[in-house]
Structure 1
Amino acid sequence: MLVHKLATFVKNASYSDLSDEAKKQLKIRLLDSLGTAIGAFEGPPVEAIREMLEDFGGSEMSTLIGGGKTTPDRAALYNSGLVRYLDFNDSYLAKGETCHPSDNIGSILAAGETTELSGKDFMTALAVAYQVQCRLSDEAPVRDKGFDHTTQGSYAVAAGVSKALGLDEEKTANAISIAGTALNALRVTRTGALSNWKGLAYPHTAFGGTHAAMLAKYGITGPPAVFEGNKGFMDSIAGQFSIDWQSEDLERVTDTIIKKYNAEIHSQSSIEGMIELKEKHGFSADEVDKIEIEIFDVAYHIIGGGEEGDKTIVRTKEEADHSLQYMVSAALLDGQVMPEQYEKDRIEADDIQALLKKVKVSPKQEYSDRFPDEMPTKIKVHLKNGKTHSLEKSDYEGFHTRPMSWETIIQKFEGLAEPYTTKELRNQIVDMVQHFEEYSVSDLMNLLSNIKKQQ
């Protein structure tokens, strides 16, 4: 059975299999994700989940960011919600799918704390989750079938958590098959009027995948033909595909990309381009008559007004960070796109609501052909005085062709974490992550328990 071949890959994965570059990139993504998590500490949806968990209680096994403990699956839900809420964590671009593999971090931390997981073994488990999710995104995309990218994530969470728990091959196979059978999510999460669920769909998968691994640990079995069986994943959703897990490595993390701006991943080069145009030519939003953006088809359909709805209707944070029209307007008006651009008053302000309606987005086949190896875009700004300014880009700082340095990642972490940490605590977190092979998951969670609003 295919699930057993995947389970063998998970069980055999070793820290020694990781290249030095993969180790570096795993640490960078851990720090990047901790920054996005800490920066989301007061996000209303995650505050609601925190209130729910406090009402529920539970065995104190896994630490919540900000203090307190609960069961591993509930900790996975909450901590993953923090990582995901700002929509500022990393991404992986496949031809037919886009996912955010750092969504797996909360689950592996929660499970790893229960086993006193070392930093080395954490990185191995995280690399496994990255590899599984990214390779399934490559070979078994589900977006065009009406399913969400969290569908492949269910296999990744279960694989990574199984590795963190030290499950044998049989129990790992059961964990993966339970999660893969149970957690097939609909793409309506990201179409039309967007809700809190856009940011919580993967945290829910994190909860479910962690729970599935725990069930398997205690002896619960799952459908062994989850991939190739009658009404299984291939038959019902993905269609036929092939991955030779025996020949897979743990290097896919090096192909993932990091967000420079607090915005949907496919918008990054357009936002950077708008800021560069404004800085070069010095025009203001009041001078703009029209903005034309040509972009690849995936971006057009997800954030430009194609298949997934009118992106000039922006009322909430969830709609704003999935509207290219809004994000480019914010970049022109404010010179940045960060969490403050998604505050209610900013979203509803007359200047940005008026400007976003002047942004016209269209797909360009040449750009679609170049994606995902590039993130091409062309921006043309028409001014009321008849002048035009244009710029074409193929990537942005954070794309795999222009990777972010440690210094830039630390700067991003500092900016997001500062309201909820002391300088001493930030320095301790950065140092621990940079040398995580010398520490344990429990060491890191002890630091993260000290997150709180600074006076």
Structure 2
Amino acid sequence: MTLAEHLATFVVRSSYDNLSEIACQQLKIRVLDALGCAIGALDGEPIRLIRAQIEDSGDTGRCTTIGGWQTAPDRAAFYNSALVRYLDFNDSYLAKGETCHPSDNFGAVLAAAEYANRSGREFLTSLAVAYQVQCRLSDVAPVRAKGFDHTTQGAYAVTAGVSRALGLDLAKTANALAISGTAFNALRVTRTGALSHWKGLAYPNTAFGCTHATFLAMRGITGPLEVFEGNKGFMDTIAGRFEIDWTQEDLGRVTSTILKRYNAEIHSQSAIEGILELKQECGFTAAEVTQVEIEIFDVAYHIIGGGEEGNKTIVRTKEEADHSLPYMIAVAMLDDRVMPEQYKPERIQRQDVQGLLKKILVRPSEAYSQRFPNEMPCRITVSLSDDRVLVKEKRDYEGFHTRPMRWETVVQKFERLSGPYTDASLRLKIIDAVADMDSIQISYILRLLAKVQVPAT
């Protein structure tokens, strides 16, 4: 058997009975978190542009978008995935050489489960498969240092989850993995330098393409089964050699994923919590700040601190702002929160935050780098105009796996994000449906999501 066939065997054999009680509950928490992020993104600029594009195509289909209109499975996967991802508020997984957002798979698995009229149990199982594949490939086959985006491993994860939701057999699943793994190897330039809308749309595009590829495999289209180990395959050209014994894998990796407390890039979470705690404890104002120094682990420094992925003191757009640690710390000090409203164009461009972010220095720490990803450590030193120097050290934040976010906290996050587009009755029905997902049909949740109010264009 090829490695793609070994992976396909894992996908096909996975069942709801393989999910532990803890893993099932954590999946439900992430589903509700993803739905809050998705509904809260309905008025985003690229989301409106995508709606216009899909509406202009004039097609109809069997799958529901959040907001109610029907389209083809691959387009539903793209649109709903774009909603989950746009705010950059959804979950994450930290491996030593890779960071990914496993709920990026949600939209595609949802579309496939609706198409195949699956139960909530089957949906949860399929989503758990996608989580497991993406996280484990991030562990053993990181690609960021080679110049490729984490959506590269995501191609296998989306395909695994969609194949499981459609109920494909081993041969068709293996061919779907082969097609997707060959076709969708994205460049990391998506997240370096001057950031664009594509930062939030790269994974939805992978969801779109891989859903399409999986449906082709369902019809009988074949792909290069030696996609992993073959001549000029994934190992040869991108990842290098690695091993995963898929016969030993379970569906528990979801319990190692983490949630965001703040609407900010994942590696910033402990630093944001730290600056807000320090401000509350010591009572200073942003106007008193002369300098902020942040020592942090190398991954955070390189991605959001001004390291190898570009200058983070030039902030003009939402995409640049939520990947700039200086901006996020500055706006937290000014507004006492980091939520979607902190990324409105008028907030980003205001002189108070533009001036303050230039007083923030970020440095990598070798000691902290050694503690990542088991911790998310940082030290914040704030110098004030009255000569006080305040220091705060952090090792984690609420939402990290050492301090997991509770169901009740995620409900509050969902309520806040979805509030402008739903009434209280609908929100309660969605929350209850997610809590009872293992005893209902997935179509019931889609009927509720169809009632969400889409903003007028």
Give the TM-score normalised by the residue count of structure 1: 0.99
> Which one-letter code corresponds to 1:256 in the other structure?
T
Other structure's SS at 2:23 match = helix
Matched residue, 1:162: 163
> Which one-letter code corresponds to 1:174 in the other structure?
N
Other structure's SS at 2:380 match = strand
> Which one-letter code corresponds to 1:143 in the other structure?
R
Matched residue, 1:217: 218
Matched residue, 2:272: 271
RMSD over equivalenced CA pairs, Å: 0.8
For residues 300-323 of structure 1, what are the alpha-carbon distances to aligned partners after superposition, in whole Å with 9 as ceiling and x for unaligned?
Answer: 000000000000000000000000
Runs of 4+ in 1 over 2 A off after TM superposition: none
Matched residue, 2:260: 259
Distance 1:182 1:43 in 2: 29
Distance 2:5 2:454 in 1: 46
Distance 1:312 1:286 in 2: 19
Distance 1:224 1:59 in 2: 33
Distance 2:60 2:133 in 1: 30
> Does the CA contact (< 8 Å) of 1:421 and 1:453 recur in 2?
no
Matched residue, 1:118: 119
1:59: how far off?
3.5
Matched residue, 1:24: 25
Other structure's SS at 1:336 match = coil
Matched residue, 2:72: 71
Other structure's SS at 1:374 match = coil
Distance 2:199 2:62 in 1: 28
For residues 111-170 of structure 1, what are the alpha-carbon distances to aligned partners after superposition, in whole Å with 9 as ceiling and x for unaligned?
Answer: 111111100000000000000000000000000000000000000000000000000000
> Does the CA contact (< 8 Å) of 2:43 and 2:455 recur in 1?
no
Matched residue, 2:312: 311
Matched residue, 2:402: 401
Q: Is 2:450 the partner of 1:449?
A: yes
1:293: how far off?
0.1
Distance 1:193 1:425 in 2: 39
Matched residue, 2:321: 320
> Which one-letter code corresponds to 1:33 in the other structure?
A
Q: Is 2:39 the partner of 1:38?
A: yes
Distance 2:85 2:291 in 1: 33
1:105: how far off?
0.5
> Does the CA contact (< 8 Å) of 1:25 and 1:254 recur in 2?
yes
Distance 1:394 1:117 in 2: 41
> Does the CA contact (< 8 Å) of 2:297 and 2:369 recur in 1?
yes
Matched residue, 1:55: 56
Matched residue, 1:232: 233
> Does the CA contact (< 8 Å) of 1:77 and 1:204 recur in 2?
yes
Distance 1:58 1:166 in 2: 25
Distance 1:454 1:199 in 2: 20
> Which one-letter code corresponds to 2:189 in the other structure?
V
For residues 153-201 of structure 1, what are the alpha-carbon distances to aligned partners after superposition, in whole Å with 9 as ceiling and x for unaligned?
Answer: 0000000000000000000001111010000000000000000000000
Distance 1:26 1:213 in 2: 23
Distance 2:435 2:329 in 1: 34
> Which one-letter code corresponds to 1:372 in the other structure?
P
Other structure's SS at 2:362 match = strand
For residues 311-367 of structure 1, what are the alpha-carbon distances to aligned partners after superposition, in whole Å with 9 as ceiling and x for unaligned?
Answer: 000000000000000000111000000000000000000000000000000000000
Give the TM-score normalised by the residue count of structure 2: 0.99
Matched residue, 2:81: 80
Matched residue, 1:371: 372
Distance 2:441 2:112 in 1: 12
Matched residue, 1:138: 139
1:453: how far off?
5.2
Distance 1:441 1:310 in 2: 44
> Does the CA contact (< 8 Å) of 2:159 and 2:177 recur in 1?
yes
> Does the CA contact (< 8 Å) of 2:148 and 2:187 recur in 1?
yes
1:369: how far off?
0.2
1:439: how far off?
1.2
* Residue range with higher mean Cα deviation, 445-454 or 118-127: 445-454
> Which one-letter code corresponds to 1:253 in the other structure?
V
Other structure's SS at 1:379 match = strand
> Does the CA contact (< 8 Å) of 1:421 and 1:454 recur in 2?
no
* Residue range with higher mean Cα deviation, 335-344 or 445-454: 445-454
Other structure's SS at 2:173 match = helix
> Does the CA contact (< 8 Å) of 1:419 and 1:454 recur in 2?
no
Q: Is 2:9 the partner of 1:8?
A: yes
> Which one-letter code corresponds to 1:126 in the other structure?
L
Q: Is 2:360 the partner of 1:359?
A: yes
> Does the CA contact (< 8 Å) of 1:57 and 1:70 recur in 2?
no
Other structure's SS at 1:200 match = helix
1:58: how far off?
2.2
> Which one-letter code corresponds to 1:128 in the other structure?
V
Gaps of 5+ in 1: none
Matched residue, 1:101: 102
Distance 1:220 1:62 in 2: 22
Could you tell me the percent identity over the aligned residues?
65
1:239: how far off?
0.3
Q: Is 2:434 the partner of 1:415?
A: no
Q: Is 2:189 the partner of 1:171?
A: no
> Which one-letter code corresponds to 1:97 in the other structure?
E
Distance 1:298 1:123 in 2: 31
Distance 1:286 1:330 in 2: 12
Matched residue, 2:203: 202
> Which one-letter code corresponds to 2:374 in the other structure?
D
The 5 A counterparts of 1:173-192 are 173-192=174-193
Matched residue, 1:388: 389
Distance 2:337 2:110 in 1: 32
* Residue range with higher mean Cα deviation, 439-448 or 122-131: 439-448
1:67: how far off?
1.0
Matched residue, 1:435: 436
Aligned length: 455
Other structure's SS at 1:266 match = helix
> Which one-letter code corresponds to 1:191 in the other structure?
T
Distance 1:156 1:400 in 2: 22
Other structure's SS at 2:53 match = helix
> Does the CA contact (< 8 Å) of 2:67 and 2:454 recur in 1?
no
